[in-house]
Amino acid sequence: MNIVYYSLTGNIPRFLAKCGISGGSVTQTQPAAEPFILVTNTLGFGQVPPAVADYLAQNGDWLRGVAASGNRNFGGNFGAAGRQIAQDYDVPLLLTFELAGTDEDVRIFTEELRKLEESIY
């Protein structure tokens, strides 16, 4: 499945690399023409990054799942962008992970991705 991401710090590309997955940045990716999974960070106190909101406004019909990174120091706002996107687009929240993720996060994400791909294809 196609993976698109948004990252300010590079943690998400590092996480995807640990998963053995490549993806394209929402700021450099062509409009969606097939289902995709979004992996994004959360800004400020739980906001969806504007670049992600813009990408989804044009391509949200193809969105099939979301994962979000964040920092647990933000308490209830940790990964809030993922929860918001999942709710707004009625897709599953596959994972919230801190920074570049742990080995367990990699395991969970790849398993959730596999399950989602099986249910779609």
| Mean pLDDT, all residues of the chain | 90
- Which of 28-32, 92-96, 113-117 has the weakest average pLDDT? 28-32
Bridge partner residues of 3 (DSSP): 37
Give the whole-number percent of the chain exceeding pLDDT 90.
63
pLDDT of residue 85: 96
Region 99-110: what's the mean pLDDT? 92
Structural tokens at position 42: 């959360």
Residue whose pair of structure tokens reads 């996480």 in the numeric block: 15
The stretch 69-80 carries a mean pLDDT of 78
Residue 6 has pLDDT above 90, yes or no: yes
CB burial of residue 4 (10 Å; 0-12, 13-18, 19+) = buried
pLDDT in tens, 16-46: 999 999 888 898 878 888 999 999 998 887 8
The dotted CATH code for 2-120 is: 3.40.50.360
Q: Is the pLDDT of residue 83 over 90?
A: yes
